[in-house]
Structure 1
């Protein structure tokens, strides 16, 4: 099978018929063997009814429906697990991603041997204040932190080799960082393609300004996981040991100073009258806690079990 097209969605009934027709037209013009997997992330409108209709008339149309809204990352995780195509394309369901871009993305994977190709919405039709400026700041921070030189991390239109999606674990809200996760898994040939961005035709965006706050927090998380996720003791243990040694040396200096004053019959105050005593004590306590945090992190890594992150209500043609 040439292509698997994954479409996560939430309450997009108005755009689904047009999107479905457009995708099928592109598939037929290019003679692709394909599957389209609609990932219904707990829609409360008639989205699933439309997907069921598409699946009934076309066996290449498949669907996964969550019992409630679990998030885009979980939807993609479920889709990646089911995808059978040699190349996997992800795109949003709001018609802002054009299916006409699929052949170009597919060719970059198959002929130029990229592991992953990310779309770049160079010309956007979103609000400048609400999306464009925060997006540019977010992408700049992501490039500096991750080392992956993409202009648009958050573009939903991406193409992957099958082996990439089968080896990348997408959890939480990490869908925007799949290129970083792929790089951390050893897939280094990551490309970018300028794609057409269209103004939203129906409804309103499901994402607010909070996605940028969450995005920066996720960026910190993924930076930590990429560097210390497999060895938390290297960070917490080192910091804890350093702080404990500093505190111990301060405490030792205070103790030796007091003994010196006692031995020479010099006037001295109680140890607790010295503010450095409390600084030394606090530093040693914090150092011990950080060391234990690293130790517990190592234990958790070696004993953790994979837990179910979402509940599937029903599937179509899968």
Structure 2
């Protein structure tokens, strides 16, 4: 297959986000506080999206912001929080406690198996790891089966085909070929299993350049692409920029005090666009200096 499909996939952030329908099953790329599709998340919130069914591995501010904005109906994640650094995700935790969203806690192994089933065109795949846990009680769609060869009891998880995967990559070309740095998390599987892929990239490069760097997601899987430098902020996109700990702390502090709406108003709605958001942040270039020295990266996380 040619690395130069016949269609230029470039579009605007607003047009790309408009392709995500209310109620869609949305796979979120990246993980924890790394390579999250934050520019797309903010645009979905600006556009007032509702009823989303989120799927991911382990995430943080992307899920928490969407929950705080009232955009989420159901969430399938193995973890939502800010790791040992800033603690649990406040809006997600509050919504779960009050029954405002459906919680379908899963694990990376089950989601991975479900995506692989979709890629392979089979209705399910068996897994072992969730037997003996309460995860099955959150997923009535799972079934216990017996291996026809060994008699072993297994859990059958159905194929998962998200309506759209939202990914952020360090670089890509106009045809949608994307280069990702390790770890890929579930991005490769999301790209192959989803009905559509919308990607943002920090830098638009030539096909030759993305090929030389290594194509992780081929362009024929990508429906739309937007060049958004720092599009993962306040998450990181190593090696280009570190995560913005002070800004993440600002959000977590606001959300814990019950003022996630104030944060959303200031940084999402009032800014009006991704350009406006980045002007409001104003310190993005500092995040690129993380690798200059030990002191440089320590200052970012002070």
Measured against the shorter chain, the TM-score band is under 0.3
Considering fraction of residues, name the structure with more strand. Answer: 2
Considering fraction of residues, name the structure with more helix. Answer: 1
Superposition TM-score, scaled by structure 2 size = 0.23
